[in-house]
């Protein structure tokens, strides 16, 4: 119980102090909602929900989580308040899990936006979704995207640097991870890059949840996502331990 108190204290402080900062509002909330409305508001042409929903959900999670970490970590490092947290009597691993838990939760909540709008505007039936696949896929995408944002945030000093560096990863993912164009339809030379990105496997699991068929078995996609989460978190901890802990 005593370990949970600092964990939730850090989570509450980050949500209160940082989650409504302008970079978070623009990239983490407005941008995903704008993309969602762009695809799901009724138009003259019919909307193929089974094809678009996985990509929009993944996009909402990706931009929401990476924007959160770009603000929370870099703001605290610049103000030197992060150094005070490093003096607390718990490990760096525990501290970084507490710092990332809010972004993971925010990513999960962000994923609900396109699902709800799809049900309201396009007549998607909730029973058509395989929730046993969708929920763990959303959680794993949120964790992997958050840890990607963490790796980026601990590598820079300013918020604008973190946002710029994040875009170096985020925008290629829009085109390479099968969000709106299936990986099988990409040029042969680009496909290896797709398989090197965690979001590819998350989108494939989401397609299985909404469409019924994916490129890989769900268990394989989840296993690869978990491996990506472990690697990204380990790289982040290594950078913090080498560059931030003196």
Average pLDDT over residues 102-126: 78
Span 36-71, pLDDT tens digits: 666 656 555 555 666 778 888 888 888 888 877 777
Average pLDDT along the chain = 80
CB 40 within 8 A of CB 47: yes
pLDDT at 198 over 90: yes
CB 133 within 8 A of CB 218: yes
pLDDT at 94 over 90: no
Q: Tell me the C-alpha distance between 111 and 106, whole Å.
A: 9
Global pTM value: 0.87
Output Rg (C-alpha) for the chain, integer angstroms.
Answer: 18
Output the pLDDT for position 230: 95
Average pLDDT over residues 64-81: 78
pLDDT at 191 over 80: yes
Q: Dihedrals φ, ψ of 104, to 5°?
A: -65, -45
CB 169 within 8 A of CB 145: no
- CA dihedral in degrees (178, 24, 68, 51; nearest 10)? -20
Q: Where are the domains of the chain?
A: 4-243
């Amino acid at each position: 119980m005593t370990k949970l108190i600092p964990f939730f204290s850090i989570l509450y402080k980050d949500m209160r102090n940082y989650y409504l900062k302008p970079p978070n509002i623009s990239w983490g909330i407005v941008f995903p909602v704008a993309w969602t409305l762009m695809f799901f508001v009724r138009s003259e042409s019919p909307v193929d929900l089974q094809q678009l929903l996985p990509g929009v959900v993944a996009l909402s999670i990706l931009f929401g989580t990476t924007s959160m970490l770009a603000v929370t970590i870099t703001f605290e490092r610049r103000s030197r308040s992060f150094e005070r947290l490093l003096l607390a009597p718990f490990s760096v691993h525990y501290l970084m899990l507490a710092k990332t838990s809010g972004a993971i939760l925010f990513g999960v909540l962000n994923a609900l936006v396109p699902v709800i709008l799809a049900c309201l505007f396009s007549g998607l039936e909730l029973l058509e979704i395989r929730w046993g696949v969708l929920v763990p896929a959303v959680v794993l995408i949120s964790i992997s995207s958050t840890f990607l944002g963490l790796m980026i945030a601990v590598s820079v000093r300013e918020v604008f640097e973190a946002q710029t560096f994040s875009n170096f990863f985020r925008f290629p993912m829009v085109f390479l991870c099968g969000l709106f164009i299936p990986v099988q339809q990409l040029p042969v030379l680009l496909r290896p890059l797709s398989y090197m990105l965690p979001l590819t496997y998350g989108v494939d699991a989401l397609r299985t949840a909404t469409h019924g068929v994916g490129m890989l078995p769900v268990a394989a996609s989840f296993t690869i996502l978990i491996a990506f989460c472990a690697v990204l978190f380990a790289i982040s901890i290594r950078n913090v331990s080498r560059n931030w802990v003196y």
